[in-house]
Amino acid sequence: MTQLFHIKTFGCQMNKHDSDFISQVLLNKGYRQTDSIDDAHIILINTCAVREKAEEKALTFIGRLATLKRKKPYMITGVIGCVAQEKGAHLLKRFPYLDLVLGPRNVYHIDEFLYKIEKERKRISCLDLTCEFTSFSKYNGYLNGKVKSFLKIMEGCDNFCSYCIVPFVRGREISLPSEEIIDEAKYLVSQGIMEITLIGQNVNSYNVKNKALPTFSGLLKELDSIAGLKRIRFTTSHPKDISDELIGSFGELKGLCPHIHLPVQSGSDNMLRLMNRGYTRDKYIGLIERLRSTRPDIIITSDMIVGFPGETEEDFECNLSLIEEVKFDNIFSFKYSDRPGTKALQLPGRIGEKEKQRRLSILQERQREITLLKNKLLEGTIQEILVEGPGKIGDDQLTGRTLGNKVVNFSSKINLKGQLVKVNIIKGLQNSLLGEL
């Protein structure tokens, strides 16, 4: 009987990419995928530990598997990803119905671990952060119906920001050979993909550690020459590693979309120092000015943390003044949460939950106002949209994104999925744009 597998994914683009990789490996081994956990013989939970809330969601889901395991004792259950790396074999003790715990660097051998569990019925925990990785797994037809895809170019991080658990759960930074990246990009295009997003914890430092070529900007140039690849994006960038060449790429490469996600984390120099970010507020603003000078229509989004240990009211006001000055198109903002092993755990000046929530609410409300204003400024403009498929409202609604990565919904009697179309923006809304073909 064919074994059915189900993967539940929490967290960032890296986890989503890893889940796609695992799915294709298992499909090639004869397994089949199912959307139903009730039908699955194998259930894998791909977890995120970057924030406490994401970790709690994953642990809650793991807890739900106990009932299923009692009904189907032959079922294989596994936890993979960052929580697996953080908690390790402790998960096997806490959840006696778990069979497998794999860190992010070990998922590339998922089929071997499953085979061993099936044959020997042993519970396995593997957390080796020295394993080599590959981003390339292919199963023809897996991408049917999709027009865009992630492509991992590196793994791990060497920055050790004081609040961040990533170096401890994904290991030290390594870059994938450019030849493999180009080969995968060409394969993705052959499968109908028109837009690729390069992903890594800090894509700007691609090949820097190796002192090798191409640099990140050189890699973008190679990808830009691939026939059929219409759009290139990347995430995430670290402000301290943005080069002049990368900024120049936004004015030179035809396929590079005018959008950059550039996490600032705080508008206060004092907080940036305690966070070990490696740049100042003024340097960050200077980068924004240079990016906008090179590509005036560039869309800039960011991340920000409130309630970091020691954050005074004055430091918080620096956050507000920064978003007023830069006028980000959007920010992803979060309350600080302690993460095991990080230096921020040792910092004095803890902020209470009530105060953190107050600051977050103020910041988010002001950013909503700015985001709406920025969206309304696009009213009356003509935008090129890559149509991704049906929208959420009505049979005739289609949805896609601008070059700047803003969601646009519009009506069409014709199925235009996978096509680049021109759309007139008739209304800017809080989270999207309304257009007409």
Where do the H-state alpha helices sit in 132-255?
166-170, 178-190, 216-224, 244-252
Give per-residue pLDDT as tens, 215-261.
999 999 999 999 999 999 999 999 999 999 999 999 999 999 999 99
- Give the pair of three-digit tokens for residue 119: 């044959």
CA distance 300 to 329: 6
- Give the pair of three-digit tokens for residue 341: 């092993």
pTM: 0.95
Give per-residue pLDDT as tens, 321-376.
999 999 999 999 999 999 999 999 999 999 999 999 999 999 999 999 999 999 99
Identity at 279, one-letter amino acid code: Y
CB distance 266 to 272 below 8 Å = yes
Whether residue 273 is predicted with pLDDT greater than 70 in this model: the reply is: yes
Predicted local distance difference test score (pLDDT) of residue 1:
66
CA distance 194 to 420: 10
CA distance 376 to 428: 4
Give per-residue pLDDT as tens, 115-144.
999 998 899 999 998 887 776 789 999 999
Residues linked to residue 5 through DSSP beta bridges, in sequence order: 33, 42
